[in-house]
């Protein structure tokens, strides 16, 4: 897949739900709010019917009221308009409460008069794990296909999940001669880019970033990881 190889370990098997209607719902978190899209033409043909997709923007902090939702469901039959409107508002409330960044139901239908997602995918903001771990439960954020975390990366990832600070660590070249430990997300990217611009990208051992005021113990454990990796090579 895209030049990467790796095991496929997760499959989802669901029963077929007989239905006559299909609807489309999409919510995307943006810089200043959320875009909500809805269409009466859901399913695999949504791209061919994109002109029938209605989209509204809800600014951050604004209340998603019935009046705001009204343009999305304006053309629906009266007997289902209220149900779809209430469902859309409930999904948006869940979207915000659980810190989703993306959620799409394509399609969802009505089963016995109640909305029922037939196909759904969502993306959570992993930086919100520290405040949502009880709501999310035992959820794992998958690595890019074909990539497996090293023990040191897993250790730092575990630290990151337990703090409101940001602790990131990726091994790029275990035998690299240049290892960084930079405070600040923007600064860490600039340092890594500068190393590459100077012609030493192949020598860069890692990408590392700590920010958001981690405590002294967290910084100490983080520094030990960086030093251990930097001194473990030949």
pLDDT at 146: 66
> Which contacts of 115-122 are long-range, i.e. CB under 8 A and separated by 24 or more positions?
115/83, 115/84, 115/87, 116/17, 116/19, 118/17, 118/19, 118/22
pLDDT at 49: 82
In this structure, the number of other CB atoms found within 10 A of the CB of residue 157 comes to 18
pLDDT at 48: 81
- Averaged over successive runs of 10 residues, the pLDDT of the chain (234 residues) comes to 78 89 95 95 84 94 94 93 96 96 96 93 88 86 74 90 90 93 90 94 94 93 94 79
Going by C-alpha positions, the residue among 230, 225, 232, 205 that lies closest to residue 156 is: 225
Task: Give dist(CA 194, CA 187) in Å, integer.
Answer: 10
Task: Give dist(CA 134, CA 2) in Å, integer.
Answer: 35
Query: Would you say 55 and 83 are in contact if contact means Cβ atoms under 8 Å apart?
Result: no
Task: Give dist(CA 183, CA 167) in Å, integer.
Answer: 10
- Give DSSP secondary structure letters for the chain: -TT----------------S--EEEEEEEETTEEEEEEES--STTTTTTGGG-EEEEEETT----HHHHHHHHTTS-HHHHHHHHHHHHHHHHHHHHTTEEEEEEEEEEEETTEEEESSEEEEE-GGGHHHHHHHH-S--PPPSTT----HHHHHHHHHHHTSSSEEEEEES-TT-SB---EESHHHHHHHHHHHHHTT-GGGB-EEEEEES---HHHHHHHHHHHHHHHTS--
Q: What global pTM score does this model have?
A: 0.67
Q: Which two tokens stand for residue 121?
A: 């995918």
Can you tell me which residue has the tokens 């520290």?
130
Q: Which two tokens stand for residue 108?
A: 């969802």
pLDDT at 186: 87
Task: Give dist(CA 184, CA 83) in Å, integer.
Answer: 46
Q: Which two tokens stand for residue 31?
A: 């810089």
Backbone angles phi, psi at 108, to 5 degrees: -125, 160
Q: In Å, how far from its chain's centre is CA 156?
A: 19
């Amino acid at each position: 897949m895209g030049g990467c190889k790796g095991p496929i370990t997760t499959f989802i098997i669901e029963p077929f739900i007989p239905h006559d209607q299909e609807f489309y719902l999409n919510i995307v978190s943006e810089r200043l709010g959320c875009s909500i899209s809805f269409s009466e033409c859901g399913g695999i043909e949504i791209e061919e019917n994109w002109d029938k997709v209605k989209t509204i923007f809800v600014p951050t902090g604004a209340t998603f009221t019935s009046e705001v939702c009204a343009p999305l469901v304006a053309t629906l039959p009266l007997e289902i308009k209220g149900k779809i409107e209430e469902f859309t508002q409930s999904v948006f409330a869940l979207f915000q409460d659980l810190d989703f960044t993306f959620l799409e139901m394509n399609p969802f239908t009505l089963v016995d008069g109640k909305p029922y997602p037939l196909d759904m995918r969502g993306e959570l903001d992993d930086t919100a794990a520290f405040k949502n771990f009880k709501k999310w439960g035992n959820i794992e954020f998958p690595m890019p296909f074909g990539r497996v975390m090293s023990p040191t990366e897993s250790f730092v990832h575990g630290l990151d999940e337990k703090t409101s600070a940001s602790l990131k660590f990726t091994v790029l070249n275990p035998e690299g001669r240049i290892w960084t430990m930079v405070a600040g997300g923007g600064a860490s990217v600039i340092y890594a880019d500068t190393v590459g611009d100077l012609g030493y990208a192949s020598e860069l051992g890692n990408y590392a970033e700590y920010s958001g005021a981690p405590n002294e113990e967290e910084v100490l454990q983080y520094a030990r990881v960086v030093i251990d990796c930097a001194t473990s090579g030949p």
